[in-house]
């Protein structure tokens, strides 16, 4: 297994592979750390870069995505970069219109309402050509990173993408999307299959372009109970991992570790640990020790500091990190937040989090 995944593009050699080693379950000298939404609105330089541009225009500019991905690494000694993009580029590539409404979030002017609306969707096989801008951003960023840390690619999981496509935006109940699961199970499976068929080549394409790890975001897992999750989310989560791995092998590409993050999906921890992913991400509602007991020793865990803990004093952040690291243990663990950074967070407190992880995890190993 090629740890640095330097690929055929002649990328610079990887200098810090701590994150990848932890993801594969190998021993590390310290606990690697990165933050979900680390390229984001909490950084003044992000707001400056993004100010003049519409959100999705930014996503379509490889130069802008590269710059935004690198910004947090100039400030903090993070152990991984994650490409700046959005999970909703996949519904866009399938032919749905999505706009980003300031202060409100994503909006689909014409969401899916009836089964026949599925006919409006493009063939999932065309998605990779529609999303070539993401691949360009990954290749450019991988070159600009100069081997400092690995680059993570990502996508939204089928159920989470389905919720946006039917709800037409965010929702506190997901009642429209769940209505489909109960009233239109056949059409729901058809949509989830279309999304899976789009996601697999998209994720493989990210690796071909230079991504060294992949994260699948099942951000809306918590709206499903165990039964709906095992029927409409889990089979597709499993299928994505299985197919991506098979296709990487067919294409002669080195394997990359895959992370599944199912927010509020604690009821399915055991199933997720056996879904074909090397890493299971945890939100902050899960106790680390219990999670470790439940998933066993075969996967790496990632997470799970409450993002709001970054509102605490730097001393308190240090204490919380220490407790978290003690609970997870030194190996098979990647430190992160239990969800993404919020726009009003102080960058200095993000730095305090990263430094505390590095400092305390080295002490733990002595």
State the catalytic residues: 37, 41, 50, 86, 164
Are residues 70 and 40 in contact, defined by beta-carbon separation less than 8 angstroms? no
Containing H/E element for 281? Answer: strand 279-281
Containing H/E element for 336? Answer: strand 333-337
Q: Specify which residues 217 forms β-bridges with.
A: 156, 261
Burial class (CB in 10 A: 0-12, 13-18, 19+), 176: middle
Instruction: Characterize 289-323 residue by residue with b for buried, 16 or more Cβ atoms within 10 angstroms of its Cβ, and e for exposed.
Output: eebbeebeeebbbbbbbbbebbeeeeeebbebbbe
Secondary structure of 107-157 as H, E, C letters: ECCCCCCCHHHHHHCCCHHHHHHHCHHHHHHHHHHHHHHCCCCCEEEEEEC
d(CA 98, CA 132) in angstroms, rounded, equals 18
Containing H/E element for 167? Answer: helix 158-167
């Amino acid at each position: 297994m090629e740890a640095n995944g330097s690929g055929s593009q002649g990328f610079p050699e990887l200098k810090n592979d701590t994150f990848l080693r932890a993801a594969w379950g190998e021993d590390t000298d310290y606990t690697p750390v990165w933050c979900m939404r680390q390229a984001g609105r909490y950084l003044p330089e992000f707001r400056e870069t993004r100010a003049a541009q519409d959100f999705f225009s930014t996503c379509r500019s490889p130069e802008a995505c590269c710059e935004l991905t690198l910004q947090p690494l100039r400030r903090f000694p993070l152990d991984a970069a994650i490409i700046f993009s959005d999970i909703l580029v996949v519904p866009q590539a399938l032919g749905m219109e999505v706009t980003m409404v300031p202060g409100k979030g994503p909006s689909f002017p014409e969401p899916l309402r009836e089964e026949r609306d599925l006919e409006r969707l493009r063939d999932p096989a065309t998605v990779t050509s529609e999303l070539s801008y993401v691949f360009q951003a990954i290749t450019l960023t991988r070159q600009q990173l100069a081997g400092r840390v690995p680059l993570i690619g990502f996508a939204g999981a089928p159920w989470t993408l389905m919720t946006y496509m039917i709800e037409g935006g965010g929702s506190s109940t997901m009642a429209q999307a769940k209505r489909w699961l109960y009233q239109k199970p056949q059409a729901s499976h058809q949509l989830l299959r279309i999304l899976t068929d789009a996601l697999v080549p998209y994720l493989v394409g990210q690796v071909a372009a230079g991504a060294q790890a992949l994260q699948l975001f099942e951000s809306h897992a918590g709206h499903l109970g165990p039964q709906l999750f095992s029927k409409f989310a889990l089979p597709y989560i499993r299928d994505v991992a299985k197919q991506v791995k098979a296709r990487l092998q067919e294409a002669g590409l080195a394997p990359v570790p895959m992370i599944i993050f199912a927010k509020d999906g604690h009821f399915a921890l055991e199933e997720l640990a056996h879904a074909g992913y090397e890493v299971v991400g945890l939100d902050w509602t899960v106790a680390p020790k219990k999670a470790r007991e439940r998933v066993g020793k075969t996967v790496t865990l990632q997470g799970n500091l409450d993002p709001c803990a970054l509102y605490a004093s730097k001393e308190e952040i240090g204490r919380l990190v220490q407790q978290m690291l003690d609970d997870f243990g030194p190996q098979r663990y990647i430190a992160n937040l239990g969800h993404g950074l919020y726009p009003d967070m102080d960058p200095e407190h993000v730095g305090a989090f990263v430094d505390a992880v590095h400092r305390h995890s080295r002490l733990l190993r002595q």
